[in-house]
Structure 1
């Protein structure tokens, strides 16, 4: 195993805030970052280079790959076919198999079940008639989610009655979807696991995640006692998934804490919003550990830097609170540099560490 040394260039697919924080962490270790995306974004402000191009543009992707020493990605909606243009030229970590599985919900849930995980009952749906049949089979309340591209509550519709099927199908635009039965749960939490190039793994303490309007609002450490009793099983499953994928980097799995144990919700093959607290709240942030992993460096400690930590997302015009947040003194403010604050848009976050 040969490490990619500081001074090398890391290519990042995607120009959002996750890419921005990856680039900052990489710079602290002496790496340069080169962003590739269809449009400029927050990551471009802190990177050494930016290539504007489509994720399926074979010529642009090949030129990008030749300009970097390794490629990673900041979000999972990159077409795996695009990765095929990169891999023969520069190593891509995590590999395309994680994208293949995580980008489509039915495939992802089937993979998790095959690895011994528990998911909500679900059915793949490709038509209104199929949705009506799925509702009859798994019942209501349930939730319809597009198979691809949904995030932060987008591409979803809830069904309280079988009569809601037509409206739900219209809400998701008649796209291929998955119908999931509602899960009765007490809490939501996530496991952020890091797997190195040598197969070694570390994981962060599991945060309690609270969502508002389908968007993560807060992540808090330590999580409630019920979550603590389910972390071991959730980590074991996440580790099993990472090994099965031959994964390198940060892998995040979201879970429901139920009376019967952890129920898998979603997998993200990347650094994750619920781990932003690690920048100040852990010895090594998720962003630095992702860079360490993909470059073949030793993984850093995931221990807490305080007794408790809370991260609050700043959504839309909540970012306008920056003067008051800075006046707190011990609040760690992160603004992503987005030019327009829209409802539901993540504009930044603030972390507080209590010692």
Structure 2
């Protein structure tokens, strides 16, 4: 395939790898801009699949399905970072434009590579060490100091794939409980609060950075975000510098989520990055002139980036499990905007939707 003519004209088709709620909101944003969307997803009934003009049901590594996706689309993006890197490499090898690129995916899929990249690009993190064996895990905890957080290097989200090691003697059992797979051991962060910044970079290198959000987690799952966060100019400038360094270091195209710790003296440390639209950016749907989903489509399609100015103060609350069944109550609240994902069946902790409670700045 020849590279697509950029910027993509309305009426072009964008492929999305992944059929979850982020893919659904990307598909809806693309439709508003006049694009068609084809989703490649493993399940026949998925939130994004029902919002797309076409759905390909197959494993992400199915080369016949990837070839079909390539033939139907002008370019491809993805909704989550655990898409197999081999699938992105296959598309790229066959002339398909994929954004964000494979470099971002490779960095984000391995927590050790991620933190190594961040430190090399002037984005500070907590101290960390890698371990491939139980003995190396014990040595890493001894080096970092307990308490320490042990995480699998690959996969894991919403608090999965990680364990606190309260004492050095517990390192081996923690390693075994995580499956005996390669891990990263991270120093505990005595942070004041958790923040995040959503940022975008276009194909021309232009950047657009949203105001900071303050985030609150429960059981490893994001519960709510408040944005714009109360922050002085120095803190905002620090977040923008970090975002700019990450975007440039990855030669990034699209929207990225960067999770941050604010330390006691005002220093920001990067917790992790997500090369995609992000849960902590859902507030932008009702709080900004151009939300993160439209911004991502603009970026990958080669369009000018939109403004990121906040037009309202928003409290975003994730609706987990049966909480989404109170949709009628939320719909009746004048200050509340309801976003449901169309998932079939709820279970405890499953993200079924979110609400944005909107107030004047």
TM-score by structure 2 length?
0.95
Deviation at 1:241? 1.6
Rounded to whole Å, the distance in 2 between the matches of 1:247 and 1:67 is 24
Counterpart pick for 1:23 among 21, 27, 40 = 27
Q: Is the 8 A contact 2:339 2:354 kept in 1?
A: yes
Deviation at 1:329? 2.6
For the pair 1:244 / 2:243, whether they are aligned, the reply is no
Query: 2:156 — aligned with what?
Result: 150
Q: Is the 8 A contact 2:193 2:261 kept in 1?
A: yes
Query: 2:77 — aligned with what?
Result: 72
Rounded to whole Å, the distance in 1 between the matches of 2:332 and 2:176 is 47
Counterpart pick for 2:302 among 296, 303, 306 = 296
Rounded to whole Å, the distance in 1 between the matches of 2:30 and 2:334 is 27
Unaligned 5+ runs, structure 2? none
Name the SS for the 1:263 alignment partner: strand
Query: 1:164 — aligned with what?
Result: 170
Name the SS for the 2:50 alignment partner: helix
Deviation at 1:224? 3.1
Query: 1:192 — aligned with what?
Result: 198
For the pair 1:133 / 2:139, whether they are aligned, the reply is yes
Name the SS for the 2:334 alignment partner: coil
For the pair 1:325 / 2:325, whether they are aligned, the reply is no
Name the SS for the 1:81 alignment partner: helix
Rounded to whole Å, the distance in 2 between the matches of 1:37 and 1:285 is 24
Q: Is the 8 A contact 1:66 1:90 kept in 2?
A: no
1:238-289: CA deviation from partner (whole Å, max 9, x where unpaired): 2112112111100111110002400110010000000011111100000001
Q: Is the 8 A contact 1:62 1:85 kept in 2?
A: no
For the pair 1:34 / 2:43, whether they are aligned, the reply is no
Query: 1:258 — aligned with what?
Result: 263
- 1:213-224 equivalent positions in 2, closer than 5 A: 213-224=219-230
Name the SS for the 2:216 alignment partner: strand
The count of residues paired between Structure 1 and Structure 2 equals 353
Q: Is the 8 A contact 1:188 1:209 kept in 2?
A: yes
Name the SS for the 1:44 alignment partner: coil
Deviation at 1:60? 1.7
Rounded to whole Å, the distance in 2 between the matches of 1:329 and 1:309 is 13
For the pair 1:115 / 2:109, whether they are aligned, the reply is no
Rounded to whole Å, the distance in 2 between the matches of 1:145 and 1:234 is 25
Rounded to whole Å, the distance in 2 between the matches of 1:65 and 1:2 is 17
Rounded to whole Å, the distance in 2 between the matches of 1:236 and 1:318 is 38
Q: Is the 8 A contact 1:80 1:100 kept in 2?
A: yes
Q: Is the 8 A contact 2:123 2:246 kept in 1?
A: no
Name the SS for the 2:68 alignment partner: helix
Query: 2:104 — aligned with what?
Result: 98
1:184-222: CA deviation from partner (whole Å, max 9, x where unpaired): 000111111110111100111110011111000111013
Following TM superposition, the consecutive aligned residue runs of length 4 or more in structure 1 with deviations greater than 4 angstroms are none
Query: 1:273 — aligned with what?
Result: 279
Rounded to whole Å, the distance in 2 between the matches of 1:39 and 1:89 is 26
- 1:41-56 equivalent positions in 2, closer than 5 A: 41-56=46-61
CA RMSD of aligned residues (A): 1.3
